[in-house]
Amino acid sequence: MGSEAALRWALGLLALVGLGIATYLTIVHYEGNDPVCLVGGKGCAAVQDSDYATLLGVPVPVIGVFGYLSVLAAAALPGDPGRFLGVFAGLVGAGFSVYLTYLELFEIEAICNWCIASAVVMCMVLGIALIRAVRFGGLDGPPGQEN
């Protein structure tokens, strides 16, 4: 990937995609409806209705909304603050996504395609945020050495 501006645009686009997924799941949660499972079956409903659908009383999709808003903020922030926030949000988001995917596979025994899509988006966020930090944050060599 080219310039830092292009990486910031890519992060912003991914944040909007993830925000769309998390917002949809939040709306469905509060309406009390089952999410539309794009690949068929009842996996999305099983995940949404599971004991793991909330964390400390907060619906998991709401946590996702705030996670993707932080990625959007990272994309908007120039320089080191944006790079740091992007890597931090990507690490936390990807780590949380791995944990949630584990729960889907081994505890709930159902797969939600919306959750998997969000996990893929968050892993892409982490990758792009790391590229941005390494390429433009001076992390690729000792201090005083040209990047």
- Indicate the pTM of the whole model: 0.90
Sorted by sequence, the CB contacts under 8 Å of residue 120 that are 6+ apart come out as: none
Domains observed in the chain: 4-136 (1.20.1440.130)
**In whole angstroms, what is the distance from residue 126 CA to residue 90 CA?**
4
pLDDT tens for residues 18-71? 999 999 999 999 999 999 988 777 899 999 999 999 999 999 999 999 999 999
If you average pLDDT over every residue of the chain, what do you get? 92
